[in-house]
Structure 1
Amino acid sequence: MINLILKDVLIQKKIILFYIATIIIYLLAGVPSLIPLGFLYSVIFILNAFAYDEKDNANILLNSLPYTRKEIVSSKYIGSLIFTTIFVFMIYVGDFLINGKGDLFIWKEMLFIIGLVMVAISFMFPISYKFKTHYLLIALGVLLGIYMLTISLLVPVNDILRELARKFLTLQEAQMYFLAIVTTVILYIGSWLLSIRIYEKKVF
């Protein structure tokens, strides 16, 4: 399974340099919040790795290797956690070195980003396994269009989301964090099991 996770890194080794370069540019520009940055880069990297497996009948090749379908799906979910943690770590270390922030690791923000990615992946992976990634991208494009229309015509969604994130990050109650973590983990595991079931029934 480790080789499957390493595969996702190797197929994007050239793009990773582009990711790092653009992250540095954003940090030099002094982005006000690192949360959207960490979330977007993590999700883009994960979905891009997923999309590579759909090219040129790559799934047929994967299924000819000595890995079970359960291991193939599990490598995606485990790899997503590893990649997200690396990206978050890299962004916060970079911000500390470039902008000289007082705290090297803001654990609440880092956990918040990882949690957001886990929730997003929990919905994205089953859809991608059931259909194709490009259908997911179309759906995301539609949602983005609705989002842009909403913030320009109806309600200040950005302000609402920012306020919700601020309230979560300023919470002092350990029970609330525990509840949020448990809910996210249950959702992620449920998605994991659902994706395995979907993938095991697919015919290539």
Structure 2
Amino acid sequence: MLNLILKDILIQKNTLIIYIATILLYLLVNVSPVFIVFVYSVVFILNAFSSDEKDNANILLNSLPYTRKEIVSSKYIGALIFTGLFICYTYLANYLLNGTVVLILWKEILLNMGLVMIAISFILPISYKFKTKYLTIICIALVGMYMVVINYFVPNFNDRLRTLVQNFMTVQELQLYLFATIITVLLFISSWLLSIRIYERKAF
């Protein structure tokens, strides 16, 4: 399974240079590290997934000595590993560029991991059931809904969202974090099992 995860990294080895450079640019203009980690982790995972859809790559994958459960599991485990790597790089770069204290609050790590896990929990089953091109259509529709909301219904939506994140970072009750972590992990595991079930039923 480790080789499957390494494959996803090697496929994007040239793109990684662009990731590294643009992350530095975003940090220089003070974009939130939480936002950077979330976007780049999801994009990296989606690019790795879409590469398996090209040129009958799934047929090749299924001819290798890996079970379908291992192929799916490599995506979910890889998602956690990639997110962890983006967290390390982003916060270290932020410290070197902006002098921000290198110590990362455990709340920020939890928030980063949680956001990516929630996103992946919805993205991967949809991608396995259909294809990533349909996911693009869904994303465009969501962006359209977002624009309608902030322009006509909740003009200060971005401010409310920012306040919500700040409130999350300042909450002191460990029970709340524990509850949120349990819910996120259960969602992630449920998505993982669902994706395995979908992939095992597909014919290539």
So what's the TM-score if we normalise by structure 2?
Answer: 0.97
Partner of 1:35: 34
Partner of 1:153: 152
Q: In structure 2, the residue corresponding to 1:203 is in which secondary structure?
A: coil
Distance in 1 (alpha carbons) for counterparts of 2:34 and 2:152: 25
Q: In structure 2, the residue corresponding to 1:47 is in which secondary structure?
A: helix
**Unaligned segments of structure 1, at least 5 residues:** none
Q: What is the CA-CA distance between 1:30 and the residue it aligns to?
A: 2.1
- Counterpart AA for 2:46: L
Q: In structure 2, the residue corresponding to 1:101 is in which secondary structure?
A: coil
How many residues are paired up? Answer: 203
1:72 correspondence with 2:71: yes
Partner of 1:8: 8
Structure 1: 4+ residue segments shifted above 4 A = none
Cα deviation code 1:61-111 (max 9, x no counterpart): 000000000000000000000000100111011001110012431221121
Partner of 2:95: 96
Contact 2:92-2:102 at 8 Å conserved across structures: no
1:45 correspondence with 2:40: no
Distance in 2 (alpha carbons) for counterparts of 1:54 and 1:117: 22
1:186 correspondence with 2:192: no
Distance in 1 (alpha carbons) for counterparts of 2:189 and 2:93: 31
Contact 1:93-1:104 at 8 Å conserved across structures: no
Q: In structure 1, the residue corresponding to 2:57 is in which secondary structure?
A: helix
Partner of 2:54: 55
Distance in 2 (alpha carbons) for counterparts of 1:66 and 1:102: 46
Distance in 1 (alpha carbons) for counterparts of 2:46 and 2:102: 31
Partner of 1:22: 22
Contact 1:39-1:116 at 8 Å conserved across structures: yes
So what's the TM-score if we normalise by structure 1?
Answer: 0.97
- Superposed counterparts of 1:95-134, under 5 Å: 95-134=94-133
**Unaligned segments of structure 2, at least 5 residues:** none
Taking every aligned residue pair, what percent have the same amino acid on both sides?
Answer: 62
Distance in 2 (alpha carbons) for counterparts of 1:21 and 1:103: 20
Contact 1:4-1:72 at 8 Å conserved across structures: yes
